[in-house]
Structure 1
Amino acid sequence: MEEPRLSKEDIERVLKFKGYGNKSGRYWFLGMEEGGGSMDQLRKRVCSFDPVEELESAIIKLGFDIDIYVPTWRVMSKLVLAMDGVAEWQEKDRAKRYQAKNLGRFGGDTFLTDLMPLPCPRLNEWPYDAIYPTKAEYIAEVRPNRIEWLRSEMSKFQPPFVICYGKGNWRYYKEIFYGVDFKPEFDEKILVGKRGNSLILLVYFLSPDLVKTELIGQIANMFGAKNQSR
């Protein structure tokens, strides 16, 4: 039996998804797009997702195990713990607890968002040809408005730390913060800029092999709790 098509209103709803957690939090994480994704998952999002979700609630709504291991989330958790000066930030169990109890929560310190609103399994995979014939057409239509929205939200909330990850998208992150002069640090592994109250870090993709423990420690030592007012 053929699955029902998404209506225009359904498509607009999923394209307006904002992210997970607390927009007033200290740490904003900005990536290219969520991993995973399928038309079946998109239908679940249409039926059950609000514009901003709690990460734990979203995992449950999509039918995944609440203890799902996502390397990106684990690196985020370690980075926040290190920035906050938590002594045991390198410990696996400590990061796991932070991910389970704090990451992407309404009352927490983090907001997770993306340059593009639809999740994709891989960069070159496109499961939504029923909505946009190609990923290139989707990006061309959606990304400019998304950049404008992100620019407006950053200006409104002025999060103290904005971590933009994925080197392949640094140029688009720079569009959000046009006019900001970014300087390289740590052998050009990151770029650092400042706009208003926000410190902006452009980093590699948040995987354990690219953003290693040493780099997290360096970032925390330079920009973390001991060097920033709480």
Structure 2
Amino acid sequence: MNNSIFFDDALLEKRIDIFYGYGNYQGKYWFIGMEEAGRGFKDVNHRINIWAKREEKEIDDVAEYHIDMGWPEGFQAGAPIQPTWKGLIRTVLTAKGQEILSKEDIRQYQIEELGREQKETCLLELLPLPSPSINDWIRNVECRNKTLHI
């Protein structure tokens, strides 16, 4: 890999070993995905640094984390509905007996409930690092002293 971004070795390894996702392990609804979406190495580095500033939690609050990452608009009035989360939210609301779902129902659940620390959902990831797409999957990461194979 010929990248200009180098990660803090210890912090990167710690993130890979410790971080599992967002929400509440005690939640009634669990969703397990491949990995978070990301925009490449610079984005991964930013996420890792935010995670470190947020006390390196095993599972975090999705809204608080994304607000700290610089995406507060996803959790404010009129938030754009995140496409992947939309399907998860529809599944939960349907399971809870809500037959007719409006965009506003989905938006409100995204803002207030999905992946929140003390709420009913748990969003876990099988792979430790965000990737831009399935075709651009991050498997090897260069650190200062070595390459990590994930």
TM-score category (smaller protein): 0.7 to 0.9
Aligned residues: 134
Kindly provide the amino acid, as one letter, of the partner of residue 61 in structure 1: D
Gaps of 5+ in 1: 139-230
Q: Shift of residue 19 of structure 1?
A: 0.6
For the residue of structure 1 that corresponds to 2:114, the secondary structure is coil
The correspondence for 1:44, drawn from 37, 43, 46, is 46
- Secondary structure of the 2:142 match is coil
Superposition deviation, residue 107 in structure 1: 1.1
Higher relative contact order (CA 8 A, sep 6+): 2
Q: Deviations over 1:174-206 (max 9, x none)?
A: xxxxxxxxxxxxxxxxxxxxxxxxxxxxxxxxx
Residue 13 (structure 1) aligned with residue 25 (structure 2): no
**Alpha-carbon deviation of 1:86?**
2.6
Amino acid at match of 2:6: R
Q: Secondary structure at the match of 1:69?
A: coil
By how many angstroms is 1:133 displaced?
A: 6.3
Structure 2 unaligned residues grouped into runs of 5+: 52-56
Superposition deviation, residue 45 in structure 1? 2.5
Q: Which has the larger radius of gyration?
A: 1
Please give the alpha-carbon distance, in whole angstroms, between the structure 2 residues aligned to 1:58 and 1:38.
Answer: 18
In structure 2, the partner of 1:85 is: 97
**Alpha carbons 2:80, 2:107 under 8 Å: kept:** no
Identity value in percent: 29
Q: 2:70 aligns with which of 63, 83, 86?
A: 63
Residue 126 of structure 1 and its aligned partner are, at CA, apart by 4.1
What is the root-mean-square deviation of aligned Cα atoms in Å?
2.4
2:27 corresponding residue in structure 1: 25
1:3–1:57 CA distance, 2 compared to 1 (3 A): farther
Tell me what 1:120 maps to: 131
Report deviation, 1:95: 1.2
Q: TM-score, normalised by structure 2?
A: 0.76
